[in-house]
Structure 1
């Protein structure tokens, strides 16, 4: 029996009648809902003879469904299927139909639905928060409170009697159904996470409408905190179970082979990323989200899909999972906190951020994504910060290279990227995304000031003017504990003229630091980079003082540093030059020769030469990538080419890598292959080959 005091058909209509098809599909699947609808159409659903509406019992295709006042999520069926079955869905569909009751009941239901349509948002805002916290439980309250502060955009929409709450960064859509309360909410969240995520969704609605959230003391955090830092305590038993599950799923996905990844892999990885965020593993969540994105492309046979990148992220995730559970992390709270990562998304309330614009650059990815990245020097943090305007594909015809540069505003008060040249920028209420980038739009407001003088101490201390310090900084970002670094500000003491490398189909440009040490920047030719190649050559020959260079960093044994912006002296002030958009005075000759040389060709540019140890590590990774594509990471033949690499690794002094290779060849499995691949990648990251 339901035991909830509901006795009439109209009462069940009020409790169940507001669940639309989308809400019901979120409980199970669209296919199961379709089959349930066919049972209703065939007349296989009605009140059960053992008590009917008074007892809250429905007969559906020969099964007995016990209704619950909180909706289908609390119902029970006597069939052997676990969770929400076809019969529960059929009962929900049948209870929506007026034929299920007499006319007065139907009228009552119609009135309830209309009331729900008019006030489902008001109903959510009027919920008793103390009762809600009690229903959710201490663990769910703690998790929801910890995530709310770092939450990004939340989309809230009323759809009839349903309030739809979407949280894009968690790939989560929750539905609150009028009249059913917190316990009647539905989403695609895993059952063990549903309480916390549903509470988070409601809290986001309250927060969006300016409601103060009186979190109980046991929540352990306040949603007004700007920095959401996970607990620094040891990994709990529940978290260990999650990490084991995460490792098993990553291994399972790799074992299937990245060249024929299944359609279900991406949703599974995405759900796992959500779980990682809830379990206070933000860094792992980011890796899993990236892996899910690549799995989507691979499953769709997208030309931009990259199996090697999938293996790289899987290896990083495997290494991070192992490190999180290692004794060293349990004994060192600071180390564990760094491995967990943080979900910082904003500065202190009322903070301001003073920035020097470094210019902007355009980029295009093989997946079809494209965008404009604007770089800024932050003197307080001593680092480059970036803001991105981007689109995943060509679905937005209004977004173009020239439009993003000249028309799309970054923040109110700042204007487009093109308008920032020759100015300094002050941001009020700045926001940071999880990857450290500046969030555009939102509540942030901008104002401009005169650009910095070349003699300003803030400029004299900016970036790197010592290439040995640059090497140390880049090497320090390698491995699990390294922070992302994809752009650096260089302040050269002297610049040579760019040179054409015809074999590699690129321009090379040597710049020197204050000690006279040389650093080689490279600009590989691609058709969409033509203006960049022209302009770097023209500006280098223009006679203007080049006070700084903004360079993109691509990690690995080749160590590519590609100039994308310049900082030139103009009227004794620092003036940014965006190489994709601003032409110099001199006539470019070398870039023109590259285009003439490649006219009509489709072959990719030759890879730059790699030093001896780099070649061996690249060969090792290439072998593992081929195995990962076919799903053969767990296999190693006697004639496997990997056997021949071990003596060379030992001869080069790469003993640790040689040991991991020997361990893998002795007992090949996915876990050992991922550990070996990650170690090889770290070796390449530590090798800054451009210096």
Structure 2
């Protein structure tokens, strides 16, 4: 097969989206216009190693690497319209010839399958029984069996890239980064693999996708251009290998670890510094932190001195310098909590402190295990600050906004969006210190920005927003960067706003979904996944709990289960509370949905943001938006009159502190935690509060082992049968406390977070 045939076979896999990713939409349009008026001349005989195509007076040269590495004689840098026009001309020449990739014979299909099988059997790290279909998290369209003629050669080529080729492409540091990145990926949501005529691989964060139509690693075409694109290409190949069951080679050890493995002796050992020094510092930090945690339990949480608070603060600074950002934050919380206890502050609680100490102990143990394997999982290390990465293009639906004030003295406005394509919530926040004059979160809703092209956050509510040049964090937060351009669009005449949302009508399903996400105490927080669109079967009567200064609005699903919407009274929630009372008095139309954030505790409680009316689902005019922003929108005319008077009466009663309603008992979704677990928790908390003196060791050991036997008899085999003699009693107490916290989390996925 000649080079021209190879290029035609490769270009047959390009569609308009792939050509757009290679250049951009404007270049592709100009390329098609050039071909409408001019004829491209193909010269494959001029050079055995290249194919030349003359188009619009310029010569484009292709080699075996394909159009991604084609060169044009025009002065434009990178991919130009002439390269795209030449690629389209080669595509058309294949379609008009006698040989067509689309007409691949059965023998050719069998040959490509044999090529894929040969690669699989030649790789010692690959499962010989490998199914060409990837794991269930991969799109079924990518299965080689379904499109063997197109995808089998690409499948074989991607699996044929070995570690040496990947290191050569990205460098050793780039390969190490890519390997760790793939290790940290969520197999279900972190990467999507699919394709019809070519292979598509897309990462959730940063939002970057690759298309592979054949060729070398340079032929992986990205739809975004982050810095050091080579390491992202390597990550895409490693993610593809993992998805298809192939092992991926770990990076080479660095620094002192490599020198120790080679046993060069002291005279030839590598000098200390860099990563080796950091790993030693981290090991010392973990040991010192563990020692202080055990000391706190031994002394008793009711007897901690200000010196303990200072030591936690010092360790927090050390952890920040060692790039253990999650540990640093947890240690700062411990220091603050000890300070509150010494000051006898109202928020101090020895039981809560014990839970936090057990959590830090579990985090230290996980970091020890990861360090022993030479790994550094991102969810354990944490992040120094929110990092925003470029997202090529985002299409969002505006769901409203809410003003807020934090306990740390910040005020801000947060907008919420839904991405129909990603099936995920995103948010954008504009915040300032409360002392900064001139910033009003309520007025910010109608002020320009935060992106070019958006007149105000109000204009995004209930409309379709297209963001170009968006900056997105791993937690789903959008940056208010001036470089982002927003285009506000109305829905299509036959489009339904509600039909594009993921609606929950069963509260048990919501509780189960949240429990699945929070099964591990060390799972990384995902605040955007706490948002939901709820469709109640029936709305209860809202009542204002004057004792807690909180509005409680019960919602009931089809099974009669209750979920409470709660809004604590403040200057920022006053309008929303009045709107809810007005809407309830006027009668909420059946089928109305509520956008709400599930609260992170054991009760079935959510905080409402907006209402979505079913009869306004296809409305286009600004006067009738499908989304009713409770914090800002005025009440509809149909809800004025008597309801408005009642709303004013409620406000006046609250301002004078009138107790018009009895306290409202919260609903609960929490599963009943078995008695042996509850009893163990109470015993551990009481002992940690008192401390472990030298005279209680033997009796405490017998008591704890008796409880362990009872727990194992009840089916809790995660607990050890006895207490090992190689660990002190304070460490056993923290281990058992962490285990019971983990079991409690499994029983109640909505249990309160230990990280804020």
TM-score under structure 1 length normalisation: 0.53
Q: Does 1:272 align with 2:319?
A: yes
* Correspondence for 2:570 among 527, 530, 533: 527
- Equivalent position of 2:502 in the other structure: 462
Q: Does 1:553 align with 2:598?
A: yes
Q: Which runs of 5+ in 1 are unaligned?
A: 1-136, 148-211, 277-283
Contact 2:418 2:501 in 1 (8 A): no
- Equivalent position of 1:353 in the other structure: 394
- Equivalent position of 1:90 in the other structure: none
- Equivalent position of 2:231 in the other structure: 221
**CA gap 1:652/1:295 in 2 versus in 1, 3 angstroms:** same
- Equivalent position of 1:471 in the other structure: 511
**CA gap 1:213/1:524 in 2 versus in 1, 3 angstroms:** closer
Deviation at 1:354, TM superposition (A): 0.6
Q: Does 1:498 align with 2:565?
A: no
Deviation at 1:376, TM superposition (A): 0.7
Contact 2:412 2:429 in 1 (8 A): yes
Deviation at 1:673, TM superposition (A): 2.1
Measure the CA separation in 2 of the matches of 1:228 and 1:395.
49
Deviation at 1:359, TM superposition (A): 1.0
Deviation at 1:520, TM superposition (A): 0.9
Q: Does 1:427 align with 2:467?
A: yes
**CA gap 1:594/1:647 in 2 versus in 1, 3 angstroms:** farther
- Equivalent position of 1:405 in the other structure: 445
Measure the CA separation in 2 of the matches of 1:319 and 1:399.
42
Measure the CA separation in 2 of the matches of 1:686 and 1:324.
25
Measure the CA separation in 2 of the matches of 1:593 and 1:623.
46
- Equivalent position of 1:102 in the other structure: none
The 5-angstrom pairing of residues 275-424 of structure 1 reads: 275-276=322-323, 285-286=325-326, 288-289=328-329, 291-292=331-332, 295=335, 315-326=358-369, 345-346=387-388, 351-391=392-432, 393-407=433-447, 409-424=449-464
* Correspondence for 2:618 among 572, 582, 601: 572
**CA gap 1:329/1:359 in 2 versus in 1, 3 angstroms:** farther
Measure the CA separation in 1 of the matches of 2:482 and 2:605.
34
Q: Deviations over 1:317-370 (max 9, x none)?
A: 432442355499959x9x967766799945566x10011111112233333333
Deviation at 1:267, TM superposition (A): 5.7
Q: Deviations over 1:179-231 (max 9, x none)?
A: xxxxxxxxxxxxxxxxxxxxxxxxxxxxxxxxx9889xxxx8379999999x9
Q: Which runs of 5+ in 2 are unaligned?
A: 1-170, 182-225, 240-247, 258-275, 620-624, 752-756
Deviation at 1:554, TM superposition (A): 2.2
Q: Does 1:245 align with 2:307?
A: no
**CA gap 1:471/1:501 in 2 versus in 1, 3 angstroms:** same
Contact 2:361 2:734 in 1 (8 A): no
**CA gap 1:609/1:425 in 2 versus in 1, 3 angstroms:** closer
Q: Does 1:683 align with 2:744?
A: yes
Deviation at 1:377, TM superposition (A): 0.6
- Equivalent position of 1:563 in the other structure: 608
Measure the CA separation in 1 of the matches of 2:311 and 2:366.
27
Measure the CA separation in 2 of the matches of 1:459 and 1:357.
14
Question: Rg bigger for which structure?
Answer: 2
Q: Does 1:539 align with 2:583?
A: yes
Measure the CA separation in 1 of the matches of 2:352 and 2:613.
36
Deviation at 1:423, TM superposition (A): 1.8
Measure the CA separation in 1 of the matches of 2:648 and 2:352.
30
Measure the CA separation in 1 of the matches of 2:694 and 2:457.
52
Contact 1:533 1:591 in 2 (8 A): no
Measure the CA separation in 1 of the matches of 2:403 and 2:679.
32
Measure the CA separation in 2 of the matches of 1:657 and 1:364.
45
Deviation at 1:449, TM superposition (A): 0.8
Deviation at 1:559, TM superposition (A): 4.0
Counterpart secondary structure, 1:411? coil
Counterpart secondary structure, 1:538? helix
**CA gap 1:410/1:138 in 2 versus in 1, 3 angstroms:** same
Q: Deviations over 1:246-289 (max 9, x none)?
A: 4334435645568845456446424424533xxxxxxx634533
Q: Does 1:484 align with 2:484?
A: no
Measure the CA separation in 1 of the matches of 2:336 and 2:581.
39
Deviation at 1:532, TM superposition (A): 2.8
Measure the CA separation in 2 of the matches of 1:537 and 1:652.
51
Contact 2:542 2:584 in 1 (8 A): no
Deviation at 1:535, TM superposition (A): 2.0
Contact 1:494 1:512 in 2 (8 A): yes
Task: Count residues in correspondence.
Answer: 472
